[in-house]
C-alpha cells in the first residue's frame, strides 16, 4: 500500500509561485502514472498534470490546457517525490491540490488515484 503526503500549499497573490511536493512511501513497484488533481470549492475535481514512467511513455509529462506554460510536473525517483511547480498563479487556481497515482494510464490522462490518493494541500491565490 502506498501513502502520499503533500505539502507546499499556501496563500499567494496573483502572479506568484508555489511548489507543491508529494512524498510517496510504500511499494511503488508497477505504479506508472502519477499526477496532480485539484478541486475548487463547489466545483468538480479537475486533472492538472501527469508524469508517466512506463516503458512506452517513460519521463513524458502532460499538463492540462488551463495551466499549460505555467505549471510543470516533475519526479525525483531517488526521493520518491512528485513536484508541481506553479508559476504565474491566478485566482482561478485556488483549490485543494491532491497527489494521485494509478498503476497505469495512457498519455494525456490524469491519474484518478485508484492506487493512491493524498490528503491534499490548499492553494489560495488572491487578486
**Quick one: CA torsion of 52, 67, 92, 87, rounded to 10 degrees?**
100
Q: Which pLDDT score, from 0 to 100, does residue 65 have?
A: 97
Q: Which pLDDT score, from 0 to 100, does residue 28 have?
A: 82
Q: How far apart are the first and last CA of the chain?
A: 40
Task: Report residues of the chain scoring pLDDT below 50.
Answer: none
Q: Which pLDDT score, from 0 to 100, does residue 30 have?
A: 85
Q: Which pLDDT score, from 0 to 100, does residue 27 have?
A: 84
Nearest-Å Rg of the Cα atoms of the chain is: 14
Grid coordinates of 91: 485566482
Q: Which pLDDT score, from 0 to 100, does residue 29 have?
A: 83
d(CA 112, CA 13): 29
Residue whose entry in the numeric block shows the C-alpha cell 498563479: 89
Q: What is the DSSP string of 38-80?
A: EE-TTS--EEEEEEE-STTTTT-EEE-GGGTTTEEEEEETTTT
Residues in CB range of 21: below 8 A, 6 or more apart: 6, 7, 8, 81, 82, 83
User: Are the C-beta atoms of residues 36 and 84 closer than 8 Å to each other?
Assistant: yes
Q: Which pLDDT score, from 0 to 100, does residue 55 have?
A: 76
Amino acid at each position: 500500500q502506498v501513502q502520499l503526503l503533500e505539502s507546499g500549499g499556501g496563500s499567494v497573490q496573483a502572479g506568484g509561485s508555489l511548489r507543491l511536493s508529494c512524498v510517496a512511501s510504500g511499494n511503488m513497484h508497477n505504479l506508472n502514472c502519477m499526477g496532480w488533481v485539484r478541486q475548487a470549492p463547489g466545483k468538480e475535481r479537475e486533472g492538472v498534470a501527469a508524469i508517466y514512467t512506463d516503458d512506452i511513455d517513460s519521463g513524458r509529462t502532460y499538463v492540462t490546457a488551463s495551466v499549460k506554460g505555467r505549471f510543470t510536473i516533475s519526479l525525483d525517483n531517488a526521493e520518491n517525490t512528485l513536484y508541481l511547480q506553479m508559476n504565474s498563479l491566478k485566482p482561478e487556481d485556488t483549490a485543494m491540490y491532491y497527489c494521485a497515482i494509478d498503476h497505469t494510464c495512457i498519455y494525456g490522462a490524469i491519474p484518478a488515484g485508484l492506487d493512491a490518493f493524498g490528503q491534499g494541500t490548499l492553494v489560495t491565490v488572491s487578486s
